């Protein structure tokens, strides 16, 4: 199927599809217009009453804002997302068992009530936290979407009126002038020198002229339609409104954008995968032990309480909040580097990006014409095109250059706006079109004060540029008081200029323009044109003093001066040059395994030239056309696979099937798409996504917004970007600099690695929290750790350390490896889970159990006497429970000892988590390679962890509800050998991984 026809969604945008109907409508409106037009006095427009009717029918002329999810829904989503469901189930079970126990009259029933309340609080608090985080990042964007209320000059009731653009209706006659934003889609009925900037719509950076003539079937191409939200650069025009609001072309693009569903971000998929995994483990262990405990003849109620314990132990309650904090820390860091992240999860997406589809204008280029090359004295000179140029370094000694620079300076109508003396030249605002601006700045940089030069060479006559002549001419007095001659300077289309010349200046001397020199000119012209540059020719003529005396009345209408047999001086070529940081950034993307594809509305030649200069097409690679040219064979004979690069025109793309597009995307590593329409951009992005790539799209125009939305991560330009683009994007580059994306990629990859570490750190202790329950059920020992105590680890001691891992530096050059494969390189892979759960977690557990047994033994219960005591131990009626020494314990004395056990277990886990935190700093390198003290935040984490444990143990020891007791000091050190073991063992693991890459050890132990 053909791309353009295949997808129903795009149908609406295709002008010719909806055309027949539109034509009829147009006709109707025209009739309407004629009715209201007085042929003698010009249009009288709609009557206010009729306008009001149509307004009532069509609605205001404004884009419907995208449907926002109600805040309450967003909030509720946070309440049920992630682990929340599991915790709600836990809370529910707690309340059920509270109800049952209360009915049975058991005093300790309230413990379950409190537990349920605590669990619910945990869910609600983390939910509020996540909601707040999301709201905060959305608020940043709210400032962007503010639209300035627009006015339109409309003719109604035969009167010109200034009304709000929102009030415009179909059939209204509006007048526009240079500088206005077009208030609706209008068909022009009168135009004078009208030029519009369609760049936000089509991506073309060149101003487009507009007239009343119908020139093309495609409404986007025809000259007599001006589009809503584009700008009129110069001239005036009058037109009839043909579409308003969402029915305008821009409105349809916007609705196309909002029709594109928000895909899940890669990190969201990863987190979901992780949540499912942990929930799966929790539920299966929970159910398994429920069955075991029921078959061990525990009461159903007890089994339910065990189930709650298992769920609480398994669910890392604080983790999702930690992930959010880590992401927002990275987002903050990126904002400092000019990447503003709208959607927190997008922070990581950039890291997993494998294809960047970049817009050209404004992103890769500076979005301003700049002189790039000069040709004089039969030689091409290169000019500095960097953003902050202050000097030009090419050879300026030749007399020809002196002459050329004079023409460039004088034959130019552009002027700096006043009051910008302290602004760098390249940043000054200029009145004039893009080429003249470029020339003005160019000469200002080289010659200094251009205005002064112009005043010294007073202008006496001038013919401005027009499209018939294709040249611009002015006549000046010379600054040399002894030289009474006039200087005629001319610039224009090179071939037209050359036609008018009979001589050419070489090294300051006029020489006759023979065919050899004309050949040299052609070669240079072709070469510069081939670079995608806009070339201008310059020539001059000193008018003989005798023929043209001081007082000669120059008349531009009668042309009483020579415009032929001039002296050709040189060529200047201009281009919108790439930003100086881009080539390096593209190179970095390359080495990071990211494919950079240029997708632009601009012409193929320009696009290819820019692609070459920034390295999107590398110096050595060729397109099919290049190969054909080199081998001198027709394009069809070239094997498409030989070409690494491809330049695809929008027209070609239109006739391609999806398979052909896939083939192009697959077979060529360097691709440029030129002359693409918004829906084609969308198709390209979808094509990339079909290759399983994570696609980043950069863009600034409205035309980019559907693609921005469709992309895994849309990146809008902060300065040049339109509101539509910013709204559709996930990230905004505040400095419009492509190089910032590289920073983003780096940060994204780092946070992915660090999140892995955070999760590994957090998951480990789950085993140490889970084992007590399992052993408690199976071996009937007194419960080693309470549910509340577990929550104190998960939401207390562990939070700051796990956030601290987000500050960890990269272990190796993360920009030298390939982007992760989103199917294979999971955030939480099997190795991570197995290593954390079954190795480090187990070591932690036995360390904590040792402390537990030590506490009990030293108080009188030796390990062997603890086995199987659960029923009597928990019996409230036994107040003379005998220990290993024959001592007898009341219930409360036992319970207090049990709390000491909780505290001991808690303290041991905390101590071992310190070791766990240290080993998680790296996954492959030794800690000593990484540096133990480089990440200061880790130490903040360690101290906070210990401080919280100390406070809980000694500060809150008297609060029995929390089940903490002041622990003897020596019990803090029981687990230390195990903490050291964890460290040593992990160093050993990493050593083998580094020593034997690719071995079964590496495959199974590296996470």
Partner 1 sequence: MATFNEKKTCSQRMEDFSRFMWNPETKQFMGRTLIKWGMLWIILYYIAFYVVITGLFALSLYSLMRTINPYTPDYQDQLKSPGVTLRPDVYVDEDLDIYYNINDTHSWGRLVTALHTFLSAYNTTAQHKNINCSSETYFFQKSFLGPNKTKFSCKFTADMLENCSGLTDPNFGFPEGKPCFIIKMNRVSTNPICWKKHDFPLEVQYYPVNGTFNLHYFPYYGKKAQPTYTNPLVAVKFLNIPRNTEVNIVCRVVGTGIISDNIHDPFVGKVEFRLKIKENRKEP
Q: For residue 55, give every residue at least 6 positions away whose Cβ sits within 8 Å of its Cβ, in sequence order, or none.
A: 167, 169
CB of 848 to partner 1, least distance (A): 11
CA nearest to 390, candidates 437, 419, 424: 424
Identity of the residue, 734 or 850, whose beta carbon is nearer to partner 1 in the bound complex? 850
Q: For residue 748, give every residue at least 6 positions away whose Cβ sits within 8 Å of its Cβ, in sequence order, or none.
A: 330, 347, 348, 349, 350, 351, 352, 353
Identity of the residue, 489 or 768, whose beta carbon is nearer to partner 1 in the bound complex? 768
Residue 1004 binding partner 1, by CB under 8 A: yes
Six token digits for residue 718: 């902060």
CA distance linking residue 355 with residue 782, whole number of Å: 57
CA nearest to 763, candidates 858, 689, 813, 830: 830
Identity of the residue, 933 or 1000, whose beta carbon is nearer to partner 1 in the bound complex? 1000
Q: For residue 224, give every residue at least 6 positions away whose Cβ sits within 8 Å of its Cβ, in sequence order, or none.
A: 187, 188, 191, 210, 211, 212, 213, 214, 215
Q: Which stretch binds partner 1 (CB under 8 A): 61-69, 581-589, 714-722, 894-902?
A: 894-902
Residue 896 binding partner 1, by CB under 8 A: yes
Among 885, 943, 973, 996, binds partner 1 (CB under 8 A): 885
Residue 818 binding partner 1, by CB under 8 A: no
Distance separating the N- and C-terminal Cα atoms of the chain:
44
Identity of the residue, 552 or 837, whose beta carbon is nearer to partner 1 in the bound complex? 837
Q: How far, in Å, are 57, 182, 716 from residue 60 at the CA level?
A: 9, 16, 28
CB of 947 to partner 1, least distance (A): 25
CA distance linking residue 127 with residue 121, whole number of Å: 9
**731-733 and 713-717 beta bridge pairing:** parallel
Identity of the residue, 100 or 124, whose beta carbon is nearer to partner 1 in the bound complex? 100
Per-residue HEC secondary structure of 778-801 comes to HHCCCCCCCHHHHHHHHHHHCHHH
CB of 970 to partner 1, least distance (A): 10
Among 632, 877, 928, 933, binds partner 1 (CB under 8 A): 877
Sign of CA dihedral 945, 946, 947, 952: positive
CB of 985 to partner 1, least distance (A): 9
**670-674 and 645-649 beta bridge pairing:** parallel
Identity of the residue, 140 or 834, whose beta carbon is nearer to partner 1 in the bound complex? 834
Q: Which stretch binds partner 1 (CB under 8 A): 439-447, 483-491, 802-810, 887-895?
A: 887-895
Where do we find the tokens 């969402």?
Answer: 246
Residue 359 among the catalytic residues: yes
Q: Exposed/middle/buried for 298, CB within 10 Å: 0-12, 13-18, 19+?
A: buried
Residue 983 binding partner 1, by CB under 8 A: no
CB of 780 to partner 1, least distance (A): 18
CB of 1007 to partner 1, least distance (A): 14
CA distance linking residue 48 with residue 52, whole number of Å: 6
Residue 968 binding partner 1, by CB under 8 A: yes
Residues 921-960 that bind partner 1 (CB under 8 A): 960
Q: Which stretch binds partner 1 (CB under 8 A): 435-443, 619-627, 881-889, 909-917?
A: 881-889
Query: Which string of x and - marks every residue 824-863 that binds partner 1 (by CB under 8 A)?
Result: --------------xx--xx--x--xx--xx--xxxx-xx
Identity of the residue, 580 or 865, whose beta carbon is nearer to partner 1 in the bound complex? 865
Residue 75 binding partner 1, by CB under 8 A: no
Q: How many residues bind partner 1 (CB under 8 A)?
A: 43
User: Tell me, what DSSP letter sits at residue 2?
Assistant: B
Residue 897 binding partner 1, by CB under 8 A: yes
Among 481, 516, 933, 1000, binds partner 1 (CB under 8 A): 1000
Q: Which stretch binds partner 1 (CB under 8 A): 287-295, 366-374, 651-659, 871-879?
A: 871-879
Identity of the residue, 758 or 854, whose beta carbon is nearer to partner 1 in the bound complex? 854
Identity of the residue, 479 or 882, whose beta carbon is nearer to partner 1 in the bound complex? 882
Residue 888 binding partner 1, by CB under 8 A: yes
Among 144, 792, 889, 1006, binds partner 1 (CB under 8 A): 889
User: Tell me, what DSSP letter sits at residue 342?
Assistant: S
- Residue 393, CB-side half-sphere exposure with 13 Å CA sphere: 4
Among 880, 928, 933, 969, binds partner 1 (CB under 8 A): 880
CA distance linking residue 490 with residue 499, whole number of Å: 12
Beta bridge partners of 175: 153, 238
Identity of the residue, 650 or 860, whose beta carbon is nearer to partner 1 in the bound complex? 860
CB of 301 to partner 1, least distance (A): 17
CA distance linking residue 222 with residue 214, whole number of Å: 6
CB of 385 to partner 1, least distance (A): 55
Question: φ and ψ at 923, to 5 degrees?
Answer: -110, -25
Beta bridge partners of 463: 473
Residue 779 binding partner 1, by CB under 8 A: no
CA distance linking residue 94 with residue 101, whole number of Å: 10
Residue 879 binding partner 1, by CB under 8 A: yes
Q: Which stretch binds partner 1 (CB under 8 A): 199-207, 425-433, 486-494, 883-891?
A: 883-891
Residues 81-140 that bind partner 1 (CB under 8 A): 105, 107
CB of 878 to partner 1, least distance (A): 9
**Neighbour count for residue 25 (Cβ, 10 Å):** 14
Residue 891 binding partner 1, by CB under 8 A: yes
Options 4, 172, 185, 359, the catalytic residue:
359
Identity of the residue, 562 or 860, whose beta carbon is nearer to partner 1 in the bound complex? 860
Question: φ and ψ at 226, to 5 degrees?
Answer: -110, 145
Identity of the residue, 66 or 860, whose beta carbon is nearer to partner 1 in the bound complex? 860
Identity of the residue, 569 or 981, whose beta carbon is nearer to partner 1 in the bound complex? 981
Six token digits for residue 299: 């009461």
CA distance linking residue 885 with residue 891, whole number of Å: 17
Six token digits for residue 447: 């010659």
CB of 861 to partner 1, least distance (A): 9
CB of 876 to partner 1, least distance (A): 5
Q: Which stretch binds partner 1 (CB under 8 A): 317-325, 588-596, 681-689, 997-1005?
A: 997-1005
Q: Which stretch binds partner 1 (CB under 8 A): 10-18, 447-455, 518-526, 892-900?
A: 892-900
Residue 886 binding partner 1, by CB under 8 A: yes
Q: For residue 899, give every residue at least 6 positions away whose Cβ sits within 8 Å of its Cβ, in sequence order, or none.
A: 786, 960, 963, 964, 965
Six token digits for residue 305: 């309480």
CB of 961 to partner 1, least distance (A): 12
CB of 846 to partner 1, least distance (A): 5
Long-range residue pairs from 388-394, CB within 8 A, at least 24 positions apart, any chain:
388/424, 388/426, 389/426, 389/445, 390/424, 390/425, 390/445, 391/445, 391/446, 392/442, 392/445, 392/446
Among 284, 657, 887, 929, binds partner 1 (CB under 8 A): 887
Q: Which stretch binds partner 1 (CB under 8 A): 50-58, 371-379, 501-509, 877-885?
A: 877-885
CA distance linking residue 838 with residue 767, whole number of Å: 8
What residue ranges bind partner 1 (CB under 8 A)?
Answer: 105, 107, 838-839, 842-843, 846, 849-850, 853-854, 857-860, 862-863, 876-877, 879-880, 882-894, 896-897, 900, 960, 968, 981, 1000, 1003-1004
Q: Give the catalytic positions in this structure.
A: 359
């Amino acid at each position: 199927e053909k791309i353009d026809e295949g997808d129903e969604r795009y149908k609406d945008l295709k002008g010719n599809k909806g055309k027949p109907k539109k034509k009829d409508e147009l006709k109707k409106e025209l009739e309407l217009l004629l009715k209201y037009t007085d042929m003698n006095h010009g249009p009288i427009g709609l009557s206010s009453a009729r306008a009001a009717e149509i307004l009532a029918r069509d609605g205001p002329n404004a884009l419907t804002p995208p449907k926002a999810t109600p805040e309450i829904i967003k909030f509720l989503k946070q309440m049920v997302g992630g682990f929340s469901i599991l915790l709600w189930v836990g809370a529910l079970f707690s309340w059920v068992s509270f109800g049952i126990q209360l009915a049975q009259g058991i005093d300790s029933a309230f413990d379950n009530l409190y537990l349920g309340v605590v669990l619910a609080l945990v869910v609600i608090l983390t939910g509020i936290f996540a909601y707040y985080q999301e709201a905060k990042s959305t608020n940043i964007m709210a400032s962007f979407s503010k639209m300035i209320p627009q006015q339109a000059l409309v003719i109604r009731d035969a009167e010109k009126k200034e009304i709000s653009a929102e009030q415009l209706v179909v059939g209204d006659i509006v007048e526009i002038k240079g500088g206005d934003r077009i208030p609706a889609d209008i068909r022009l009925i009168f135009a004078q020198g009208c030029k519009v900037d369609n760049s936000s719509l089509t991506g073309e950076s060149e101003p487009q002229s507009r007239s009343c003539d119908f020139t093309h079937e495609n409404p986007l191409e025809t000259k007599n339609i001006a589009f809503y939200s584009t700008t009129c650069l110069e001239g005036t025009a009058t037109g009839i409104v043909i579409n308003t609001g969402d029915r305008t072309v821009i409105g349809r693009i916007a609705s196309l954008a909002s029709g594109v569903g928000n895909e899940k971000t890669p990190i969201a998929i990863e987190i979901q995968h992780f949540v499912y995994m942990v929930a799966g483990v929790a539920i299966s262990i929970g159910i398994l032990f429920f069955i075991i405990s029921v078959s061990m003849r525990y009461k159903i109620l007890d089994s339910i309480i065990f189930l709650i314990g298992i769920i609480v132990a398994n669910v890392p309650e604080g983790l999702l909040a930690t992930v959010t904090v880590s992401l927002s820390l990275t987002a903050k860091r990126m904002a400092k580097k000019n990447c503003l992240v709208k959607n927190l999860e997008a922070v990581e997406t950039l890291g997993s990006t494998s294809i960047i589809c970049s817009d050209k204008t404004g992103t890769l280029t500076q979005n301003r014409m700049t002189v790039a090359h000069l040709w004089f004295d039969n030689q091409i000179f290169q000019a500095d095109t960097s953003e902050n140029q202050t000097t030009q370094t090419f050879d300026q000694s030749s007399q020809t250059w002196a002459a050329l620079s004079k023409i460039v300076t004088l034959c130019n109508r552009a002027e700096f706006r006043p009051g910008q003396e302290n602004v760098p030249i390249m940043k000054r605002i200029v009145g004039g079109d893009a080429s003249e601006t470029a020339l003005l700045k160019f000469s200002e940089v080289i010659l200094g004060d251009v205005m002064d030069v112009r005043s010294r060479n007073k202008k006496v006559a001038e013919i401005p540029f027009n499209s018939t002549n294709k040249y611009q001419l002015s006549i000046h007095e010379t600054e040399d008081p002894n030289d009474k001659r006039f200087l005629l300077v001319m610039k224009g289309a090179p071939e037209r200029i050359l036609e008018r010349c009979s001589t050419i200046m070489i090294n300051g001397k006029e020489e006759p323009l023979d065919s050899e020199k004309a050949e040299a000119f052609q070669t240079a012209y072709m070469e510069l044109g081939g670079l995608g540059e806009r070339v201008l020719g310059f020539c001059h003529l000193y008018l003989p003093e005798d023929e043209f005396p001081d007082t000669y009345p120059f008349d531009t209408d009668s042309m009483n001066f020579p415009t032929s047999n001039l002296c050709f001086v040189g060529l200047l070529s201009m281009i919108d040059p790439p930003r100086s940081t881009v080539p390096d950034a593209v190179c970095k993307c390359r080495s990071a395994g990211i494919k950079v594809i240029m997708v632009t509305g601009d012409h193929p030649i320009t696009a290819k030239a820019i692609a070459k200069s920034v390295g999107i097409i590398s110096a050595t690679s060729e397109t099919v056309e290049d190969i054909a040219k080199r081998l001198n064979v027709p394009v069809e004979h070239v094997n498409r696979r030989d070409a690494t690069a491809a330049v695809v025109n929008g027209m070609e793309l239109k006739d391609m099937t999806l398979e052909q597009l896939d083939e192009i995307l697959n077979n060529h590593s360097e691709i440029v798409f030129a002359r693409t329409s918004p829906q084609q951009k969308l198709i390209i992005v979808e094509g990339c996504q079909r290759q399983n790539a994570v696609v980043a799209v950069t863009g600034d125009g409205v035309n980019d917004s559907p693609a921005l939305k469709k992309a895994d991560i849309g990146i809008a330009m902060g300065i040049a970007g339109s509101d539509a683009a910013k709204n559709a994007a996930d990230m905004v580059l505040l400095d419009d600099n492509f190089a910032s994306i590289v920073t983003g990629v780096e940060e994204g990859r780092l946070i992915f690695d660090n999140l892995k570490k955070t999760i590994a750190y957090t998951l480990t202790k789950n085993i140490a929290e889970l084992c007590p329950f399992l052993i408690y059920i199976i071996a009937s020992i007194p419960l080693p750790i309470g549910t509340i105590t577990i929550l104190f680890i998960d939401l207390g001691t562990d939070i700051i350390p796990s956030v601290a891992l987000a500050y960890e530096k990269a272990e190796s050059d993360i920009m030298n490896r390939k982007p992760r494969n989103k199917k294979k390189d999971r955030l939480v892979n099997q190795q991570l889970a197995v290593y954390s759960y079954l190795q480090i977690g187990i070591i932690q557990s036995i360390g904590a159990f040792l402390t537990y047994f030590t506490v009990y033994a030293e108080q009188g219960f030796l390990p062997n006497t603890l086995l199987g005591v659960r029923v009597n131990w928990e019996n409230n009626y036994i107040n003379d429970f005998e220990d290993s020494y024959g001592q007898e314990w009341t219930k409360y004395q036992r319970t207090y000892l049990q709390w000491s056990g909780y505290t001991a277990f808690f303290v041991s886990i905390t101590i071992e988590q310190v070791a766990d935190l240290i080993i998680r700093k790296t996954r492959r390198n030794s800690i000593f390679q990484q540096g133990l003290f480089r990440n200061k935040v880790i130490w903040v984490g360690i101290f906070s962890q210990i401080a919280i444990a100390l406070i809980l143990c000694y500060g809150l020891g008297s609060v029995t509800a929390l089940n903490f007791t002041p622990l003897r000091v020596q019990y803090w050190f029981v687990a230390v050998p195990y903490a050291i073991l964890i460290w040593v063992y992990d160093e050993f693991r990493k050593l083998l991984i580094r020593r034997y890459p690719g071995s079964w050890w590496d495959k199974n132990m590296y996470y």
